[in-house]
């Protein structure tokens, strides 16, 4: 294919923008996994002939398309719940998407073009594209507290090759998918396939086959009889949730939805289901706990928690408490920017209502907190956004019988956000070989098996209770034991050992 056909001007930039948006169709709710594969192939072709400076802008356009389409739900949070006007919400959403593109996709594109500038070998063009992409995804899990959304591997969750997830985690699936895209791009680019391309394609096919075989291996096994769980979805309107005049109505709805389910071993209320500080609700919590003990039930609920730090400082946490047959509190570690804390708050507080959302001044919980207990079993507690962090969940999941996540996806409205969030939670179940139970305010409340398959779910935006049976599991997957590090080190070493850098370059 002629060099200039992928290089020229605004047409190529527009194609890059569209290619980034195309990839979003591979994630929930559409789940069309070939689209990220095709998108990766187009990006490979669009970057191949460029200088580092040109690639920087091409990557920015691609990233803007990816995040503009894939995180469009940010607009709902800012406009509908942050009280920003349509123009202001649009500008803030655009700035967020542009920032993500500049922070992560543009540097990937620049580094890739720079690598090819130093070494034009075909194997480096292919391997470098894969390794740098996965490293860019990984950097999104920690840089500036992290935003590991739209990782390519999620698109392969419901395919036969998802068997790699318990071994390599979602980043391994990302590597497999983007490698397929690079190989497809190289097949399109070349007039006559080379030996490197043919061998690479055969190797990719072997990895695909390996994923199918790994999917047949049981990494974990039930350690006890099934537990009966009841997940409560109250569907409290976000505008009323933190209104203290509505508190009694909120509690009555939770109690009414739970009334027929005290025979369950575990009842779960969603994130901040009780919208009042734990110490102020102590008499009410003691009543709940006493009732749960009388029915031999564990009740887990989200609730904001106050702690006094050394030096007398007050700290407020997005928390979980376990009552009745359960025990323990958990304080959320990974906070959502602007939703739970405001960066540069001395400058931003008071500018617009979005920077003063209710409960947007939470502190970050400490690492290595003990797990929650429900009867004789250990629960790995994850609040909302935390379930999208693969290594955080692996660290907890290795010690747990069951994964538990609570959320309030009301902030996303009727957008693609809740579906993407559930897809990521399902991947955590598969990576760790554990059942995952998920209680949300208005959806998607669901139960997931250790293979990442949905066992049951409630309709969005409707109050209800979801009953299911889950098994405590024993036995760890390779990923829950080691996390992402082995894959990242392997990819980086493979690139370094394959790259014959020129002296003086």
Rg (CA), the chain: 24
Rounded to whole angstroms, how far apart are CA atoms 432 and 170?
11
Q: Region 373-391: what's the mean pLDDT?
A: 97
Return the closest-CA partner of residue 429 out of 209, 220, 172: 220
Least confidently predicted of 77-91, 267-281, 345-359, 373-387:
345-359
Given the DSSP bridges, would you call strands 436-440 and 402-407 parallel, antiparallel or unpaired?
A: parallel
Q: What is the pLDDT of residue 123?
A: 87
Question: Is residue 6 very low, low, confident or very high in pLDDT (cuts 50, 70, 90)?
Answer: low
Alpha helices, DSSP H, located in 324-471: 345-348, 390-397, 417-432
**pLDDT digit string (tens) for 114-126?**
999 888 788 888 9
pLDDT score recorded for residue 432:
98
Distance CA 429, CA 423 (A): 10
Task: Check residue 5 and give its pLDDT.
Answer: 47
CATH architecture of 221-304+317-333+369-476: 4-Layer Sandwich (3.60)
Residue 362 contacts residue 368 (beta carbons within 8 Å): no
b/e sequence 417-431, b meaning 16+ C-beta within 10 Å = bbbbbbbbbbbbbbb
Q: Nearest CA to 273 among 108, 468, 442? A: 442
Measuring CA to CA, how many Å separate 113 from each of 117, 128, 343, 492? 6, 10, 33, 17
Please write the tens of the pLDDT for every residue from 246-261. 999 999 999 999 999 9
CA dist., res. 346 & res. 471, Å (int): 48
Residues 164-174: pLDDT tens digits?
999 999 999 99
pLDDT the model gives residue 3: 46
Is residue 403 over pLDDT 90? yes
- Check whether 200 has a pLDDT greater than 80: yes
pLDDT at residue 307, as a whole number: 93
Please report, for the chain, the start and end positions of each structural domain, with discontinuous segments joined by +.
Answer: 3-217+484-498, 221-304+317-333+369-476
Tokens of 150: 């739209």
Q: How far is CA 62 from CA 23, 100, 109, in A?
A: 10, 11, 10
Q: How confident is the model at residue 267 (pLDDT cuts 50, 70, 90)?
A: very high
Of 86, 92, 6, 1, give the one whose Cα is nearest residue 43. Answer: 6
Residues 377, 419: Cα–Cα separation, whole Å: 29
Q: How many CB atoms lie within 10 A of CB 70?
A: 22
In this prediction, residue 2 carries a pLDDT of 42
pLDDT interval class at 343 (50, 70, 90): low
pLDDT at 504 over 70: no
For the ranges 192-201, 294-303, 330-339, the one whose mean pLDDT is highest: 294-303
Looking at residue 498, its pLDDT comes to: 82
Mean pLDDT lowest among 3-17, 72-86, 226-240, 457-471: 3-17
Mean of all residue pLDDT scores within the chain: 92
Q: 36-64: b or e for each residue (b if 16 or more CB lie within 10 Å)? A: bbbbbbbbbbbbbbbeeebbbbbbbbbbb
360 vs 168: which has the higher pLDDT: 168
Per-residue pLDDT tens digits for 423-477:
999 999 999 999 999 999 998 999 999 999 999 999 999 999 999 999 999 999 9
Instruction: Check pLDDT > 80 for residue 365.
Output: yes
CA distance 157 to 449: 13
One-character DSSP codes across 455-501: EEEPPTTS-EEEEEEE--EE---HHHHHTTHHHHHHHHHHHHHH--P
Lowest mean pLDDT among 17-31, 69-83, 206-220: 69-83
pLDDT at position 188 over 90: yes
Query: Known catalytic residues?
Result: 271, 332, 384
pLDDT value at 86 more than 50: yes
Euclidean distance between the first and the last CA atom of the chain, given in angstroms as a whole number: 29
């Amino acid at each position: 294919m002629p060099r200039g056909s992928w290089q020229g001007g605004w047409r190529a930039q527009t194609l890059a923008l569209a290619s980034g948006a195309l990839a979003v169709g591979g994630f929930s709710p559409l789940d069309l996994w070939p689209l990220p594969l095709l998108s990766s192939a187009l990006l490979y072709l669009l970057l191949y002939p460029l200088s580092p400076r040109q690639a920087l802008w091409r990557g920015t356009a691609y990233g803007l398309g990816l995040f503009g389409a894939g995180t469009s739900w940010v607009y709902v949070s800012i406009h509908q719940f942050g009280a920003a006007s349509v123009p202001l919400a649009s500008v803030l959403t655009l700035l967020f998407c542009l920032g993500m593109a500049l922070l992560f996709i543009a540097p990937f594109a620049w580094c890739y073009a720079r690598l090819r500038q130093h070494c034009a070998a075909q194997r480096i063009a292919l391997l470098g594209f894969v390794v740098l992409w996965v490293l860019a995804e990984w950097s999104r899990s920690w840089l500036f507290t992290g935003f590991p959304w739209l990782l390519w591997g999620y698109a392969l969750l419901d395919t036969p090759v998802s068997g790699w997830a318990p071994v390599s985690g979602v980043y391994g699936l990302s590597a497999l998918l983007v490698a397929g895209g690079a190989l497809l791009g190289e097949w399109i680019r070349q007039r006559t396939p080379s030996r490197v391309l043919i061998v690479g394609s055969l190797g990719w096919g072997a990895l695909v086959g390996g994923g199918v075989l790994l999917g047949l291996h049981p990494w974990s096994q039930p350690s006890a009889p099934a537990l009966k769980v009841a997940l409560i979805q109250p569907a409290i309107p976000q505008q009323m949730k933190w209104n203290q005049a509505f508190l009694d109505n909120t509690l009555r709805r939770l109690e009414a939805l739970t009334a027929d389910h005290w025979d369950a071993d575990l009842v779960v209320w969603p994130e901040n289901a009780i919208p009042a500080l734990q110490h102020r609700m102590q008499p009410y919590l003691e009543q709940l706990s006493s009732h749960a003990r009388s029915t031999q039930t564990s009740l887990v609920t989200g609730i904001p928690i106050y702690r006094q730090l050394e030096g007398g400082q007050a700290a407020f946490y997005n928390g979980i408490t376990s009552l009745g047959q359960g025990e323990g509190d958990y304080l959320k570690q990974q906070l959502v920017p602007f939703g739970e804390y405001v960066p540069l708050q001395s400058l931003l507080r008071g500018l617009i209502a979005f920077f003063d959302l209710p409960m947007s001044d939470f502190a970050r919980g400490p690492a290595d907190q003990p797990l929650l207990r429900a009867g004789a079993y250990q629960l790995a507690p994850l609040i909302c956004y935390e379930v999208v962090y693969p290594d955080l969940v692996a660290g907890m999941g290795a010690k747990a019988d069951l994964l538990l996540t609570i959320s309030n996806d009301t902030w996303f409205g009727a957008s693609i956000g809740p579906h993407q969030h559930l897809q990521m939670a399902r991947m955590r179940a598969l990576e760790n070989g554990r059942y995952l139970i998920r209680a949300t305010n208005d959806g998607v409340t669901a139960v997931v098996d250790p293979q990442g398959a949905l066992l049951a779910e409630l309709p969005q935006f409707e109050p209800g209770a979801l009953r299911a049976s889950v098994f405590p599991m024993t036995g760890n997957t390779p990923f829950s034991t080691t996390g992402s590090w082995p894959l990242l080190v392997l990819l980086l070493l493979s690139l370094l050992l394959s790259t014959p850098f020129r002296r003086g370059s």
